[in-house]
Amino acid sequence: DMYRTLIIVGALFIGACAGQETGLESTRIEGRTAAVANGAMLYALGLWTAPELDSLQRAGVRVDSITVVPRELRMRRGDRMPLANLTVVVFDSAGQPVPAAPILLESDPAIVALTPLEVVAHATGRSIVHVRSLLPTRLGHTAVHEIRVTVE
């Protein structure tokens, strides 16, 4: 159907944009939430393929909301914060955690960039790191959470 085609095209676009990094830094990093409570998350460039996302969608996996801790980051120019310090939990429409859910982190590289291991503060200012689900909500939208970043 048309929605599935849009998901596949979107995933291919995301994969193409992941190639826009400078060195190991990027404006987009894909992730997988922990498979079990208190488990480790995984981040990488091009982590998810279109067939994997399509398979999850056909299996009925939905992400209706995202919670991220911390909600705000205060950094100094040149600081690096490990992505392991972020806790990302996604929930379905019943409020239950969705294990091993595909997510996408996006940033403004003028202020903060992302690597598969950390957030890097490049310049002073304020920015937002968007954490998006790569799966639709039950209504077909995309769940997004914002992390506010201040770099001094």
The tens place of each residue's pLDDT in the chain, 152 residues long, gives: 434 433 433 433 344 344 333 444 668 999 999 888 778 889 998 899 999 999 999 999 999 999 999 999 999 999 999 999 999 999 998 999 999 999 999 998 889 999 999 999 999 999 999 999 999 998 889 999 999 999 99
What count of Cα atoms within 13 Å lies in the side-chain half-sphere of residue 96? 7
Q: Do residues 136 and 64 lie in contact, with contact meaning Cβ atoms separated by under 8 Å?
A: no
Q: Do residues 43 and 30 lie in contact, with contact meaning Cβ atoms separated by under 8 Å?
A: yes
Q: What gap in Å lies between CA 144 and CA 105, rounded to an integer?
A: 10
Q: What gap in Å lies between CA 15 and CA 70, rounded to an integer?
A: 27
Q: What is the pTM of this model?
A: 0.80
Contact partners, residue 77, CB within 8 Å, separation at least 6: 121, 122, 123, 124, 151, 152
